Amino acid sequence: MMGCWILNESLSTILVLSWLGVNLYLFTDTFFWYEEEESFLYTRVILGSTLAWARASAVCLNFNCMLILLPISRNLLSLMRGTSSCFRGPWRKQLDKNLKFHKLVAYGIAMNATIHILAHLCNLEYYHWSQSPEAEGLVAALSKLGNAPDETYLNPIRTFHTNTITELLRTVAGITGLLISLALILIMTSSTEFIRQASYELFWYTHHVFIIFFIGLAIHGAGRIVRGQTAESLLLHNVTFCREHLAEWQTAARCPVPQFSGKEPSAWKWVLGPVILYACERILRFWRFQQEVVITKVVSHPSGVLELHMKKRDFKMAPGQYVLIQCPSISSLEWHPFTLTSAPQEDFFSVHIRAAGDWTEALCKAFGADGQALKEPWSLPRLAVDGPFGAALTDVFHYPVSMCIATGIGVTPFAALLKSIWYQCCESQTQWKLSKVYFYWICRDPGAFEWFADLLLSLETRMSEQGKTHFLSYHIFLTGWDENQAFHIALHWDENTDVITGLRQKTFYGRPNWNHEFRQVAYSHPSSNIGVFFCGPKALSKIIQRMCRLYSSADPRGIHFHYNRESF
């Protein structure tokens, strides 16, 4: 049983294969061009095939550097999501995989950079060896070119009695190559999941070394260390004939001394457009940074959760969107993403922030949410807000049935959704495509239920008043408790309301049986398209994704579960 999941995955596969195909085409086309091009025949005499390896990987490196900034251009993605008719249905879902594509392209950059570095290290050794006393014939003759006033050199290593690394670091290509390599190593190593979980700030700061990376990339080719025969020299010096008649160079009219020049740098041409686009993103962010954000309310919840209510001129949002927040008094550079938890119908926008790192802990402390008395709004530190930006959850109303699954603080994206449903329930004229919502929340700390249970209780009451009790089915799972809590639950057991949340729906203890849950939903909604929206850890994400595949029908007329994961 596969269903429309096959279509979505097929599109993802097509995009990945297209990316691989373009990389393969660029690599093979460039490789064979440098293997066959006459102007580089004498270069190949010294370097062999490593010239082609270096140049082919460089072209693929440029191509991937052109792509790497596009998936993280948030305003561009939001524009494509909101206005382009080309991005509907399965194609729209591909926009939600922007970070996956960003990582894929990063792997492509790392692989091609490695090939490029290794090939040039070999080239350096070949250049050095060709100046040795052991070198003879055409190789030795080519390496000695450039010593006379009317000659241009082919070999950048001018003497055998030198240190190749020292010589390399005296060139533009060597210095920029070292900077690019160090920047790439820093970016890649700090992007591992372990580093991001342990210190998001370290990840954020080291990721901005990309500025050095792109500057180094743009001027890397300016040293023109790879040289080929000039077009004018090719007209006068017939390489096919002259390579076999080395003794006749300078004496025969057909074999004047060949002249060489470096190849024009081209990396800047590849990355100029995306860099300008990304610069516009940053300019727009700076403009939004200047706009005033008024903090109207601060609430400190259990489990280290800070709730902020804010207002900003001309701020418009949709359920499921997120914003980037900066607190200049903590860091003038860092922007952190947070899902909006307010509804579009409210006259403010809000976020819930859990203290889970240096920056968020400092923010909670600055707002007095670490056990101190909460501060008055006028005495609070200034915040800057960029956004809102689209995310997968904005599609929740596009399905007749939706399953919303959250763990811990991952419930925040669904707060705005449920609030929006509450407000729309108040409007009797509202017509929805969405007819049923299944909401699952898995949490280990009973105290975390407090702020969200109030929302569920008000929504439960409103649904009952409107005669729509069937619309929302919610399931709360508590996975962590101690003996005292278990005794309290047993002592205060109530048939009508839950002891922990105060809701009519009882809290489940332990983890959900996802096979049972998906089977029940599939049985209740045959021949339906069901959107599955998840926000939580990767391990559970894989389980939910597997359930979507397992319970989707291969028949286009059958039931289909469409998996969506919140990621920003």
Whether residue 349 is found in the same domain as residue 473:
no
Q: Which residue has the higher pLDDT, 175 or 391?
A: 175
Both 255 and 348 in one domain: the answer is: no
**Is 473 buried (19+), middle (13-18) or exposed (0-12) by CB count in 10 A?**
middle
Q: Which residues of 412-434 are buried (b: 16+ CB within 10 A; e: fewer)?
A: bbbbbbbbbbbebbeeeeeeeeb
User: Each residue of 294-331: pLDDT tens digit?
Assistant: 888 888 876 677 888 889 988 888 887 889 999 888 88
Strand partners, 562: 531
Do 481 and 498 lie in a common domain? Answer: yes
pTM for this entry: 0.77
Q: Do residues 349 and 458 both lie within one domain?
A: no
Domain annotation covers residue 45: yes
* 3-class SS string, 319-331: CCCEEEEECCCCC
Q: What is the mean pLDDT of residues 327-351?
A: 86
Residue 97 lies inside a defined structural domain of this protein: yes
In a domain, 237, yes or no: yes
Residues 276, 301, single domain; the answer is no
Q: Indicate whether 483 pLDDT > 80.
A: no
Distant-in-sequence contacts of 48-51, Cβ < 8 A, 24+ apart: 48/126, 50/119, 50/120, 50/122, 50/123, 50/126, 51/119, 51/123, 51/226
pLDDT tens-digit readout, 205-227: 888 899 999 999 999 988 788 88
Q: What does the angle CA 317 – CA 89 – CA 439 come to, to the nearest 5 degrees? A: 60
Residue 426, pLDDT score: 59
- Specify the long-range contacts of residues 139-142, CB closer than 8 Å, at least 24 apart: 139/45, 139/46, 141/246, 141/249, 142/42, 142/45, 142/46
Mean pLDDT of the chain: 81
Q: Is residue 23 part of a domain?
A: yes
| Same domain, residue pair 158 and 69 | yes
Q: Is the pLDDT of residue 403 over 60?
A: yes
Distance CA 500, CA 475 (A): 13
260 and 348 co-located in one domain: no
Could you give the number of structural domains in the chain?
A: 3
Q: Determine which helix (DSSP H) or strand (DSSP E) holds 338, and give its type and residue range.
A: strand 336-339
- Find the domain containing 544 and state its range: 435-485+492-566
Does residue 117 sit in the same domain as residue 254? yes
> Which position has the higher pLDDT, 215 or 394?
215
- Whether residue 442 is contained in a domain is answered as yes
- Residue 442's pLDDT band, with cuts at 50, 70 and 90, is confident
479 with 529, same domain: the answer is yes
Where is pLDDT greater, at 128 or 466?
128
Per-residue confidence band for 117, with pLDDT thresholds at 50, 70 and 90? very high
Say yes or no: 346 and 474 in one domain: no
What per-residue confidence (pLDDT) applies to 450?
64
- For residue 409, being part of any structural domain is answered with no
- Same domain? 116 vs 98: yes
Residue 3 main-chain phi, psi, to 5 deg:
70, -155
User: Which CATH number fits the domain that encloses residue 449?
Assistant: 3.40.50.80
- Contact predicate 529/399, CB 8 Å: yes
> How do residues 154-183 score in pLDDT, each as one tens digit?
888 888 888 888 888 888 888 999 999 999
Residue 119, domain member (yes or no): yes
Please tell me the predicted confidence (pLDDT) of residue 371.
57
Can you tell me which residue has the tokens 């691989």?
20
Is the pLDDT assigned to residue 420 strictly greater than 60? yes
Whether 516 is covered by a domain: the verdict is: yes
Q: Are 514 and 405 in contact (CB under 8 A)?
A: no
> Within this chain, do residues 162 and 298 fall inside the same structural domain, yes or no?
no
- Statement: residue 184 has pLDDT above 90: yes
In this predicted structure, the answer to whether residue 487 has a pLDDT above a threshold of 50 is no
Between CA 340 and CA 319 the distance in angstroms is: 8
Q: What is the mean pLDDT of residues 506-531?
A: 84
